[in-house]
């Protein structure tokens, strides 16, 4: 199998990554391209759908902003004073690299989206939306035309802004297409971008948020880097891989920001010590019950901020426009 981004057959190394989300520890091999440094699975699972049973993006549709009156109030104020007045473009630079303190009010998806500085009324499609948590959040911010599709939805949510569907079978015209950690789940990312070129309006923006192969942690942990996310992630492009894929699909990369957070720097070491996500001794239990050391978490937030500044954080968002 050749690299899906540059089409080269040259491989610099093979990484034996374990499946750690469900905890089966089945090994899947990932090739690292010698030409563009992208990573891709060497053999597709026989049935990937079995791994999506109870996947995190299909959980109950709750919003973190609803957990805090201050966060909910901030969303309402931002919607009324910034989005609905068409002033989003004036504050977009705020979201390029928020401070460690500011990041506690932003999810990575929200940071990546608000950096666009979108006008009200734009047509938005969230590709691979799960049950629609982020679509609902965008609507709360005032982007009331936002919709989502996901091919693995089994039961449709009780609303009309998320539906079962695949990007390659989608029609219509959109001003913003969002791939929030979904492009790497697709067996044919080039087909997805070719379809995006057909769906996107002339001045539209294609947002692709993916794990960052130029991150400091990938070079340190390799097959234990949790964002290989075997076998869910089929192919993760490097910056060069994104540029090559964009060029073949009629796009160009116009910007990039890192969106990693404190908790992103906890899981690699656990994987290296063979601790899966659902193990009782996983650090995720301490994060869930609020017992994780707050001082250490603050330290990791500062680390995430410093790495984001140099585009070596664990997550990265690319912004593409028509060439």
The tokens for 218 are 């990938």
- The band of 196, judged by pLDDT with boundaries at 50, 70 and 90, is very high
The reported pLDDT for the residue numbered 62 is: 53
User: Averaged over 299-313, what is the pLDDT?
Assistant: 97
Q: At what angle do helices 239-248 and 189-199 cross, to 10 degrees?
A: 50
User: What pLDDT was estimated at residue 45?
Assistant: 85
Q: Provide the percentage of residues in the chain whose pLDDT is more than 70.
A: 93
pLDDT of residue 156: 67
pLDDT at res. 1? 83
Angle at 30 between CA 29 and CA 34, to 5 degrees: 135
pLDDT of residue 149: 94
Does a structural domain hold residue 299? Answer: yes
Is 6 contained in some domain?
Answer: no
Of 157, 161, 167, nearest in space to 148 by CA: 161
Distance CA(107)–CA(180), nearest Å, equals: 12
The set of residues, in sequence order, having a beta carbon less than 8 Å from that of 207 and lying 6+ positions away, is 112, 113, 116, 176, 177, 178, 179, 180, 317, 318, 319, 320
Q: The pTM is what?
A: 0.94
Residue 290 sits at φ, ψ, to 5 deg, of 80, 15
**Per-residue burial over 175-192, b = 16 or more CB atoms within 10 Å of its CB, e = otherwise:** bbbbbbbbbbbbeebbeb
pLDDT of residue 239: 98
Confidence (pLDDT) at 273? 97
User: Tens digits of per-residue pLDDT, 68-124?
Assistant: 777 788 888 899 999 999 999 999 999 999 999 988 888 999 999 999 999 999 999
Between 75 and 221, where is the model more confident? Answer: 221
Contacts of 141 (CB under 8 A, 6+ apart): 75, 78, 79, 83, 114
Identify the band that residue 157 occupies on the pLDDT scale cut at 50, 70 and 90.
Answer: low
Q: Has residue 4 been placed in a domain?
A: no
pLDDT, position 236 = 98
Q: What was the pLDDT predicted at 145?
A: 95
- Domain membership of residue 311 as a residue range: 11-322
| Residue 185 is assigned to a structural domain of this protein | yes
| Number of folded domains that form the chain | 1
Mean pLDDT of 144-169: 86
CB atoms within 10 A of CB 294: 9
> Residue 204 burial by CB count (10 A; 0-12/13-18/19+): exposed, middle or buried?
buried
pLDDT higher than threshold 90 for residue 235: yes
Q: How far apart are CA 200 and CA 113, in angstroms?
A: 16
CA–CA separation, 139 and 133 (whole Å): 10
Return d(Cα 78, Cα 88) in angstroms, integer: 9
Report the range of poorest mean pLDDT among 2-6, 62-66, 86-90, 284-288: 62-66
Q: Where are the beta strands (DSSP E) in 190-250?
A: 200-211, 235-236
Calculate mean pLDDT across residues 193-208.
97
Q: What is the CATH number for 204?
A: 3.40.50.150
Q: pLDDT (tens digit, 9 = 90+) per residue, 32-68?
A: 999 999 999 999 988 777 776 666 555 455 556 666 7
Contact status, residue 105 vs residue 261, Cβ threshold 8 Å: no
154 pLDDT more than 90: no
- Counting Cα atoms < 13 Å in the Cβ hemisphere of 162 gives 27
DSSP strand pairing (162-164 vs 147-150): parallel
Closest CA to 54 of 130, 107, 135: 130
Q: Is residue 1 part of a domain?
A: no
* pLDDT at residue 159, rounded to an integer: 75
Residue 3 lies in a domain: no
In a domain? residue 2: no
Q: What angle do CA 196, 199, 204 make, to 5 degrees?
A: 85
pLDDT in the model for residue 67: 63
Q: What is the mean pLDDT of residues 273-293?
A: 94
Alpha carbon distance 246, 183 (integer Å): 13
Residue 302 has pLDDT above 80, yes or no: yes
Task: Give the mean pLDDT of 138-163.
Answer: 86
Where does the pLDDT of residue 131 fall: very low under 50, low under 70, confident under 90, or very high at 90 and above?
Answer: confident
**294 lies in some domain:** yes
220 three-state secondary structure: helix
């Amino acid at each position: 199998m050749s690299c899906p981004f540059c089409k080269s057959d040259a491989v610099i190394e093979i990484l034996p990554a374990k499946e750690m989300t469900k905890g089966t520890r089945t090994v899947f091999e990932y090739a690292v391209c010698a030409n563009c440094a992208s990573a891709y699975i060497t053999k597709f699972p026989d049935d990937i759908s079995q791994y999506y049973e109870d996947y995190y993006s299909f959980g109950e549709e709750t919003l973190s902003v609803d957990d805090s009156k201050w966060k909910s109030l901030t969303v309402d104020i931002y919607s009324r004073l910034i989005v609905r007045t068409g002033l989003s473009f004036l504050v977009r630079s705020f979201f390029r690299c928020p401070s460690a303190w500011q990041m506690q009010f932003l999810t990575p998806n929200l940071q990546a989206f608000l950096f666009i500085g979108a006008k009200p009324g734009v047509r938005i499609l969230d590709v691979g939306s799960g049950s629609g948590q982020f679509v609902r959040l965008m609507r709360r911010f005032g982007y009331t035309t936002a919709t989502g599709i996901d091919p693995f939805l089994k039961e449709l949510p009780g609303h009309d802004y998320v539906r079962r569907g695949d990007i390659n079978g989608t029609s219509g015209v959109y001003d913003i297409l969002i791939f929030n950690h979904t492009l790497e789940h697709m067996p044919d990312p080039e087909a997805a971008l070719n379809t995006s070129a057909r769906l996107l309006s002339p001045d539209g923006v294609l947002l692709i948020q993916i794990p960052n192969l130029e991150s400091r942690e990938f070079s340190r942990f390799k097959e234990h880097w949790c964002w290989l996310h075997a076998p869910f992630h089929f192919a993760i492009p490097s910056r060069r891989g994104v540029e090559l894929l964009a060029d073949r699909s009629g796009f160009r990369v116009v910007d990039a920001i890192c969106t990693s957070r404190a908790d992103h720097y906890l899981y690699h070491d656990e994987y290296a010590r063979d601790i899966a996500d659902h193990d009782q001794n996983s650090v995720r239990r301490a994060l869930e019950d609020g017992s994780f050391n707050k001082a250490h978490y603050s330290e990791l937030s500062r680390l995430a901020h410093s790495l984001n500044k140099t585009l070596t954080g664990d997550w990265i968002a690319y912004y593409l426009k028509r060439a």
